[in-house]
Amino acid sequence: MPATVASTTGIQIPAHVPPALYYHAGITEGSDFLAAPHAFMAGLHGKAPPIFFDTSEHSHAAWNLIKYDDAFFVLRHPEYFTAAGTGPFPRDPDDYWRIIPLEIEPPEHRKYRAIVDPLVSPKTIGTLEGAIRRLANELIDGFIDKRHCEFAKDFGRPLPVGVFLDIMGLPRSMMDEFVRWAMGLLHAQDHALAGQVMGEVTAYLQAVIKDKAAHPDGGAVSAIVHGRPGGEAMSAKEIFGFVFFLFIAGLDTVFATLNNIFVWLAQNPDRRHEIIAEPDNINNVVEELLRVFTVTFSGRTLTQDFELRGILMRKGDRVTSILPACNYDPDIFPNPERVDFHRPRKPTLAFAGGVHSCMGAHLARLEIKVCIQEFLRRIPEFTLTPGTEISYWPGGVVGPKAVPLSW
């Protein structure tokens, strides 16, 4: 481990970080960030150095990357920048389990992805479209006549959970429980509650894993339980780390994306009309909204000393790609704050890139597309309920706490 110095806010900074690259940003927790997170991240360009060390309280003592090309490079070079040990959950070192497939690097990584990739391929996901549309409409039926809803609670969370349960091979009757668990685990303000929820989730997933071992089916939990990466059965810890990570990765990210998008749609009637008037452009609409409302980050650790943009980083340093900021890089996306549904196609980093690029990207895109289409078809005119102040969750998935809509 490199020697460190303490910043004035108590953050341990590796001694080799030049003070000129210290920057008090406050990403994910600071008050400027929480007031308007995406505008904040767009605003880093021109204000913060392209690579900086966030010295603010709660920061993760990491190099922060805000340039698209830098992040893309890091994501595509796991030999220098490893995801091993960077998962978002602290684990007991005496009973350690890996978050799979994120914390496994090539060449083993491919063997684990191969177990679940067929269940989330474009072809398989395409077969789910009818079921997603039906669920979207059932949820809308539940509130349309009331002329108001709390979008996050009534639609933005239950829809992804319902779809996720189908893919995992778990019963839809677990919907409310899964919403509660996802929120409790990722957004509980007190550790005791998060610990209690973790216990409940672990007990449920362990029971499901046991059941699928005896009764295989076509769902993802069964595929994992019976998967044999490289021809070998997985250990109980590996199976748990894999199933648990799908739960973590596949819910809150979709909640946050939908909730961000619907705040914006409520505030921009002309842009809603544009989407409705150009139904064939919906895939570009989804890509552009994913770009401007990118919700998460990507953490890595240096496996050896490495120089990026002329800056020496040392083995053991942590590096965070600020994906939402990278997607506002003006060198890649001119006039980046403009939401342009006819922007020339360029892959965004909403789902990261390289070997760990999001496994659920096709599913997430389809969910977002169907939600926009069905909601705008049935409720084309809506606003944020008067008097609403949108406030955001602190932490690694950027989204509003509640989205009250009226029509």
Site residues for ligand HEM per CB under 6 A: 83, 101-102, 113, 120, 245-246, 249-250, 253-254, 257, 295-296, 298, 323, 350-352, 356, 358-360, 363-364
Task: Decide: helix, strand or coil at residue 364.
Answer: helix
Q: Kindly tell me which of 56 and 257 has the beta carbon lying closer to ligand HEM.
A: 257
Nearest to 398 by CA among 10, 27, 9: 27
Identity of the residue, 48 or 161, whose beta carbon is nearer to ligand HEM in the bound complex: 161
Q: Which is nearer to ligand HEM, 22 or 324 (CB)?
A: 324
* CA atoms of 219 and 116, how far apart (whole Å): 9
State the minimum distance, in angstroms, from the CB of residue 194 to ligand HEM.
Answer: 21
3-state secondary structure of 13: strand
Cα separation of 87 and 251, whole Å? Answer: 16
Which class for 141: exposed (0-12), middle (13-18), buried (19 or more C-beta within 10 A)?
Answer: exposed
For residue 338, the minimal CB distance to ligand HEM (Å) is 21
Asked if 290 and 296 touch (Cβ cutoff 8 Å), the reply is no
Q: How far is the CB of 298 from ligand HEM (least distance, A)?
A: 4
Q: Residue 7 or 27: which CB sits closer to ligand HEM?
A: 27
In the complex, least distance from residue 250 CB atom to ligand HEM, rounded to whole angstroms: 3
- Closer residue to ligand HEM (CB): 48 or 104: 104
CB-nearer residue toward ligand HEM: 22 or 306 = 306
Q: Which DSSP letter does residue 169 get?
A: T
How far, in Å, CA of 44 to CA of 164, rounded? 34
Name the phi and psi angles at 394, rounded to 5: -70, 160
* Max Cα–Cα distance, the chain, nearest Å: 62
The least CB distance from residue 339 to ligand HEM, in Å, is 17
Which residue, among 218, 223, 213, 186, has the nearest Cα to 395 in the 3D structure? 186
Q: How far is the CB of 352 from ligand HEM (least distance, A)?
A: 3
CB-based closest residue to ligand HEM? 360
Q: List the structure tokens of 234.
A: 């997985």
